[in-house]
């Protein structure tokens, strides 16, 4: 059992180790929807080593650490938790280069807590190495925590659901963006998420004007047309200005994270149901259709008109005979994961 002269220093490590073992075991058997609250959780949940998920390795490591503490093996416990912290530092570095995992950060905090709770030998050289390791771990933990917070905050939709199959990033001062919004005006309300991006201070006022119009029931296309044709200077408090700028900054960060540097940017999830060139049952294209019924190109995913940084651009002229409508943006456009039976073509 715990040695009497070391019980006060090891009990804390034992409790943290037991809590870590219980958490890892729960994470290994819990449903994915109860665990995955971030991109990294989904990414690392199915990661295995020699066919065994990482969560079971964590369960075994914490259990062994708890046994060292129970039997008073302070030196073995300290050395083993040092190895656990070193392995967790490597995992935090991997997450920093890919995606943060909320559950993994909980485990990392428990490992660091046990590392601090279990005292080591009073050797100056070893204490220096341990301090450097803890410092590196702390920097990576902070970086992952900041990335997780940014991911959880998400982007801001002026209109449309968060999980809409089509997401359009636009700016009121971008001519190509106005063309894209006009093309999407007839889309079903639940298929498009509109996310504004400010290129200059005038855009901030225009977006605020659009926001108020949308709250009163206007569509984004109508609100944008009013903001362009009859611009106003809505009164805003300093707090409201700061809050709106924060929302727009998040949207711009999302645009830049896609690698795009010009607006508009359109993101699509899933393949739409195409009403042209396919049989009603989703069969092969009808090659005998006349040329007048040939499919027409839709709005490009990344428009060439307006840089995100705010430089002025010119709208791209539409080719002769090209329609600006997107006929496939109906309620059937929901992606294979949502309504697979209603999609003639899915990826």
Q: Please name each of the domains of the chain with its CATH number.
A: 7-153 (1.20.1440.130), 166-200+245-274+298-342 (no CATH)
CA atoms within 13 A of residue 20's CA, in its CB half-sphere: 31
Q: Are 98 and 106 in contact (CB under 8 A)?
A: no
Number of helical (H) and strand (E) elements in the chain, helices listed first: 11, 6
Four-CA torsion 192, 193, 197, 202, nearest 10 degrees: 80
Partners of 302 in the beta sheet? 265
What is the pLDDT, as a whole number, of residue 295?
Answer: 40
Range from 4-13, 64-73, 236-245 carrying the lowest mean pLDDT: 4-13
Determine the Cα–Cα distance for residues 214 and 223; give it in Å rounded to an integer.
7
| Non-local CB neighbours of 120 within 8 Å, separated by 6+ positions | 78, 82, 126, 127, 130
**pLDDT the model gives residue 336:** 38
Higher pLDDT residue, 22 or 319?
22
Task: Give dist(CA 288, CA 51) in Å, integer.
Answer: 52
Residue 107 pLDDT more than 60? yes
> Residue for token digits 């968060």?
162
In the numeric block, the tokens 């009403």 are attached to 275
Using CA atoms, how far apart are residues 207 and 2, in angstroms rounded to an integer?
65
Q: Stretch 191-216: mean pLDDT, rounded?
A: 93
Q: Which of 210-214, 255-259, 292-296 has the lowest mean pLDDT?
A: 292-296
Q: Strand 166-170 to strand 192-196: parallel, antiparallel, or no bridges (unpaired)?
A: parallel
Share of the chain above pLDDT 90, in %: 46
Span 295-346, pLDDT tens digits:
443 444 455 556 665 444 444 444 444 444 454 454 444 343 333 333 333 3
Q: Which of 7-11, 211-215, 276-280, 319-323 has the highest mean pLDDT?
A: 211-215
The pair of structure tokens assigned to 250 is 């998040």
Nearest to 113 by CA among 84, 147, 136, 92: 84
Tokens read off for 245: 């700028």
Across 229-248, b (16+ Cβ under 10 Å) vs e yields eeeeeeeeeeeeeeebeebb
pLDDT in tens, 147-171: 888 877 888 999 999 889 999 999 9
In this predicted model, which residue has the larger pLDDT, 187 or 326? 187
Query: Does 189 have pLDDT greater than 70?
Result: yes
Report how far Cα 138 is from the mean position of its chain's Cα atoms: 23
């Amino acid at each position: 059992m715990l040695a009497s002269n070391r019980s006060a220093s090891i009990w804390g490590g034992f409790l943290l180790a037991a809590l870590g073992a219980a958490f890892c075991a729960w994470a290994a058997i819990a449903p994915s929807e109860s665990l995955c609250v971030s991109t990294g959780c989904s990414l690392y949940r199915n990661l295995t080593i020699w066919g065994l998920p990482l969560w079971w390795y964590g369960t075994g490591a914490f259990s062994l650490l708890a046994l060292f503490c129970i039997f008073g093996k302070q030196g073995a416990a300290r050395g083993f938790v040092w190895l656990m912290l070193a392995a967790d530092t490597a995992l935090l570095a991997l997450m920093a280069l890919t995606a943060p995992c909320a559950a993994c950060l909980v485990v990392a905090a428990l490992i660091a807590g046990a590392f601090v709770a279990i005292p080591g030998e009073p050797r100056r050289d070893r204490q220096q190495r341990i301090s450097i390791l803890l410092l590196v771990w702390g920097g990576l933990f902070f970086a992952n925590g900041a990335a997780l917070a940014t991911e959880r905050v998400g982007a801001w939709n002026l209109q449309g659901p968060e999980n809409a199959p089509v997401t359009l990033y636009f700016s009121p001062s971008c001519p190509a963006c106005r063309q894209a919004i006009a093309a999407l005006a007839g889309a079903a309300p639940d298929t498009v998420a509109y996310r504004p991006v400010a290129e200059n201070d005038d855009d901030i006022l225009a977006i605020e004007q659009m926001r108020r119009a949308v709250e009163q029931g206007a569509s984004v296309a109508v609100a944008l047309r009013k903001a362009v044709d009859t611009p106003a200077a809505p009164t805003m408090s300093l707090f409201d200005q700061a809050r709106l700028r924060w929302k727009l900054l998040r949207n711009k960060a999302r645009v830049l994270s896609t690698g795009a540097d010009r607006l508009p940017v359109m993101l699509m999830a899933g393949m739409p149901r195409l009403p042209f060139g396919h049989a009603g049952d989703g069969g092969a294209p009808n090659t005998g259709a006349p040329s007048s019924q040939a499919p027409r190109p839709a709005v490009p995913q990344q428009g060439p008109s307006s840089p995100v940084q705010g430089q002025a651009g010119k709208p791209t002229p539409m080719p002769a005979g090209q329609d600006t409508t997107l006929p496939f943006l109906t309620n059937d456009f929901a992606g294979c994961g949502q309504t697979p039976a209603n999609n003639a073509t899915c990826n």
